Amino acid sequence: MSAGGSGGGANAAYPPQTIMAIGAVGGLAGIYLGHFLPPMFSFFGGLGAICAIVWGADAVRRVASYGLGTGVPSIGMIALGMGIVAALFGLSVGGIAGPIVSFVAAAIIGAVIGVLANKVIGMGIPIMEQAMVEIAGAGTLAIIGLSVVIAGEFTYGAVIENVVANGYIALIFIIGGMGILHPFNANLGPDEKQDRTLSVAVEKAAIALIITGFASSLHEGLMAAGLNIAVGLVIWTVAFMKYYGFVKRDAHSVVGTGLLPSAEELQ
């Protein structure tokens, strides 16, 4: 669960259904584990967020390959825009089923925006509706997962007090959005490979876990924060080494250029 989509066979492309299952099931499982286990184990929320971010990045990858007409970041921002609205709504009315209600609300908002984008605006991207549902769902789970890391639970009162009222929600908004929009934005091009893109998603999500780990020290104490940061660092290291491996695999060749020539050498 923790590694999201980064592991496995090097060249095999993961079908969308697999990533979707990892994101939705892994995301919700992580959120609920982080909620029910003691605050010490709030990093499970972060693991859920990693699954969700990998899912979101894969959905962005599929839809943005069609060409959005504008930059890839826009779709990451709309993901988190829909996500934050749906997440807070679900937690406010859902009680213990909060994340699931949020997820369903996000899917509805995403579906409506997807239909509007294709039918009214006329973008003509065949998978737009499905991708918007996926991106909204992934954004919602990422926000709730990272909120669980900071607050230790997802009850509305706790999230409002420990995440929203002190402004950490803005941090979650941007780093969650980065995790979803950056992987494809950084890797796009004719030689884009799914495993390389998704390894960046895991790496970005691990950075999100590390940063929310720092933020969690305010409410959960240094021990829990330290554990969050440690888990994040381990995942980041593994994912970054994997990414570096993929870059070396996909590059024509990797050569050292040496230092810049000095003034004498140039003459």
Which residues form the interface with other proteins (CB under 8 A)?
Answer: 68-71, 73-75, 77-78, 80-86, 88-89, 91-93, 105, 108-109, 112-113, 116-117, 120-123, 156-157, 160-161, 164-167, 169-170, 173
Closest distance between other proteins and the C-beta of residue 125, in Å? 10
Which amino acid, 180?
I
Shortest Cβ distance from residue 89 to other proteins (Å)?
4
Rounded CA gap, 136 and 186, in Å? Answer: 21
Looking at the Cβ atoms of 44 and 184, the one nearer to other proteins is: 184
- Please say which residue, 7 or 118, places its beta carbon nearer to other proteins: 118
Residue whose CB is less far from other proteins, 72 or 198: 72
Looking at residue 262, the DSSP 8-state letter turns out to be P
Any residues with CB less than 8 A from the CB of 91 and at least 6 apart, and which? 98, 99, 101, 102, 144, 154, 155, 156, 159
Q: How many CB atoms lie within 10 A of CB 156?
A: 17
Least distance (Å) from other proteins to the CB of residue 208? Answer: 17
Q: Nearest distance from residue 160's CB to other proteins, in Å?
A: 5
Q: Which residues contact 110 (CB under 8 A, 6 or more apart)?
A: 82, 132, 133, 134, 135, 136, 137
Judged by CB, which is closer to other proteins: 30, or 83? 83
Tell me whether residue 215 or residue 238 sits nearer to other proteins (CB atom).
215
From the list 157, 108, 162, the residue with the least C-alpha distance to 136 is 108
Q: Which amino acid is at 56?
A: G
Minimum distance, C-beta of residue 84 to other proteins, in the bound complex (Å): 4
